[in-house]
Structure 1
């Protein structure tokens, strides 16, 4: 029997970056550039509109909110008086829209970016064509201190996204969305990131070799993959999984993965073994296990992640499932 999420909220462009803060659900709308707060009943409150489209969210130790400006190439800080001021600058770092962000208990923020204009590419080409050699551009994770000063950059990754912090604070776990894998980065004493280590692959090694092959096998595989990306076909497939948002499960060890290719959240053990799935109504970009009881799976879903089309459709939803 399939486990299926139910729709709690709708009418958004691209809901993303689900967070639980001060007893409420917070999220951004990447299409309309807004940040929202939902108490669990009624409609979601619009907290602020962010220049350059709101992205990743987090909070400093003193409670002030940080929010990514995707097209502005920076992180803003919401002051207590309501002013929005620039906190960290990524204009010379990001080669594409700035994306997700994690703020740790010390106030350091870890910020990813696309590495290129992903949506412009996808408007002209099937997603599978990204893997034609040399493959998608890579991008580093930028690390900033409490005051917004750059501490360093990680080794480049394939669309770093969906960050988690281990309970002991020693490791950053990241989704490499276009790498179809989850990767861990040890956190050094100064907050910068060490060499990446595999956490779990979400695609078969054979399929990865074929789709990235420079010769005829690669061209054939990429064309077949493009056909299989049709929504009517894709929703019946279970592989591969493109990890967007990540969330710790209640056990604190395994993770839930928002599958950007399909309507589902996938429960994954370290190493990449799939433990279970929860079906959503649309492609899923972010997930979170939180709520008053700590056992509610929230999912942000969209009919399309293209911000231009999504802003017209306003079909984005927040869906929930009780674990």
Structure 2
């Protein structure tokens, strides 16, 4: 019998950036710009509304919340008195909405951005046309110290998204959504990221070459892919996987991937081997293995990831499955 995630919360625009902090689930609503907290039994609490739409979340060592402003191209800090203060500035380097963020135990923040107006593009053309050479614009990951000063930028990557850190703090793994792969970096002692490499490809090498081909083969592949993008067709497919949010499994070795192309969370081993697939009710944007026992898979799902349409539908859900 297929295990499926069950809906436990609903009525959001675009729930995203699932986090577990102080025995509660936290998440952003990218459509409405709000940050929420849920302890699993009571009502969902709205913690703060972030100017420019809330995105990635994290906490400084002293417990203060950091929240990305997607359209403001910055990171805000929530002070003890409830005031939002600008913490980090990405205005000079963000080519599109600022996106997900990882904050490590030292308070260093690693922040990605779309690199371009993704939703503006796909409102006009199929997603597959992004790969027409030279392909979609890329964007670096910005590295910020605990005081909000920027100390580094990675080489550009293709739509940096969900991010996890290894238990020893030496390896950071980033979802490159539009490249359909998980990419690893070594974390230097000073926090800078280096030695970029593929941790897990999530599309066949042949299909990747074809969709990016500059000739007739590429044009045909992109047109066929556009036909397969139809939701009723896409949800019946198993490949490729576009990783959005990612999270370590409780084994500390494999990674759960929220597949932005369809309703599922996929568990992946290094190298790209698929170990498990858990269906969800809708397109899945974020996942997390947490809970008081550390063995609950949470998923954030949406009928559409377009923030304008999603804000009107309010069909976003939080789903879970006890592993």
**TM-score with structure 1 setting the length:** 0.99
Instruction: Say which SS state the counterpart of residue 40 (structure 2) adopts.
Output: coil
Specify the alignment match of 2:87 in structure 1. 87
Unpaired runs of 5+ in structure 1?
none
Q: What is the number of equivalent residue pairs in this alignment?
A: 323
Residue 284 in 1 paired to residue 300 in 2?
Answer: no
Alignment of 1:1-323 (within 5 A): 1-323=1-323
Counterpart contact for 1:155–1:195, Cα < 8 Å: no
Task: Give the Cα–Cα distance (whole angstroms) in 1 for the partners of residues 124 and 27 of structure 2.
Answer: 29
Task: Give the Cα–Cα distance (whole angstroms) in 2 for the partners of residues 43 and 130 of structure 1.
Answer: 41
Task: Give the Cα–Cα distance (whole angstroms) in 1 for the partners of residues 25 and 130 of structure 2.
Answer: 34
Task: Give the Cα–Cα distance (whole angstroms) in 1 for the partners of residues 189 and 276 of structure 2.
Answer: 36
- Listed one character per residue, the Cα deviations across residues 169-203 of structure 1 (whole Å, up to 9, x for unaligned) are 01111000000000001111111111311100000
Task: Give the Cα–Cα distance (whole angstroms) in 2 for the partners of residues 233 and 178 of structure 1.
Answer: 19
Task: Give the Cα–Cα distance (whole angstroms) in 1 for the partners of residues 80 and 43 of structure 2.
Answer: 24
Instruction: Say which SS state the counterpart of residue 262 (structure 2) adopts.
Output: coil
Task: Give the Cα–Cα distance (whole angstroms) in 1 for the partners of residues 322 and 126 of structure 2.
Answer: 35
Instruction: Say which SS state the counterpart of residue 40 (structure 1) adopts.
Output: coil
Task: Give the Cα–Cα distance (whole angstroms) in 2 for the partners of residues 67 and 287 of structure 1.
Answer: 18
Per the TM alignment, residue 317 of structure 1 is displaced from its structure 2 partner at its CA by 0.2
- Listed one character per residue, the Cα deviations across residues 1-30 of structure 1 (whole Å, up to 9, x for unaligned) are 322100010000000000000000000000
Task: Give the Cα–Cα distance (whole angstroms) in 1 for the partners of residues 236 and 307 of structure 2.
Answer: 25
Counterpart contact for 1:16–1:27, Cα < 8 Å: yes
Per the TM alignment, residue 257 of structure 1 is displaced from its structure 2 partner at its CA by 0.2
Task: Give the Cα–Cα distance (whole angstroms) in 1 for the partners of residues 180 and 137 of structure 2.
Answer: 14
Per the TM alignment, residue 93 of structure 1 is displaced from its structure 2 partner at its CA by 1.1
Task: Give the Cα–Cα distance (whole angstroms) in 1 for the partners of residues 118 and 72 of structure 2.
Answer: 16
The list of structure 1 runs, each at least 4 consecutive aligned residues, that deviate by more than 3 angstroms after superposition, is none
Counterpart contact for 1:9–1:43, Cα < 8 Å: no
Task: Give the Cα–Cα distance (whole angstroms) in 2 for the partners of residues 206 and 130 of structure 1.
Answer: 18
Instruction: Say which SS state the counterpart of residue 294 (structure 2) adopts.
Output: coil
Task: Give the Cα–Cα distance (whole angstroms) in 1 for the partners of residues 67 and 141 of structure 2.
Answer: 16
Per the TM alignment, residue 43 of structure 1 is displaced from its structure 2 partner at its CA by 2.5
Per the TM alignment, residue 42 of structure 1 is displaced from its structure 2 partner at its CA by 3.3
Instruction: Say which SS state the counterpart of residue 195 (structure 1) adopts.
Output: strand
Unpaired runs of 5+ in structure 2?
none
Task: Give the Cα–Cα distance (whole angstroms) in 1 for the partners of residues 172 and 68 of structure 2.
Answer: 18
- Listed one character per residue, the Cα deviations across residues 218-253 of structure 1 (whole Å, up to 9, x for unaligned) are 111111111111111111100000000000001000
Counterpart contact for 1:264–1:278, Cα < 8 Å: yes
Task: Give the Cα–Cα distance (whole angstroms) in 2 for the partners of residues 72 and 195 of structure 1.
Answer: 30
Instruction: Say which SS state the counterpart of residue 124 (structure 1) adopts.
Output: coil
**TM-score with structure 2 setting the length:** 0.99
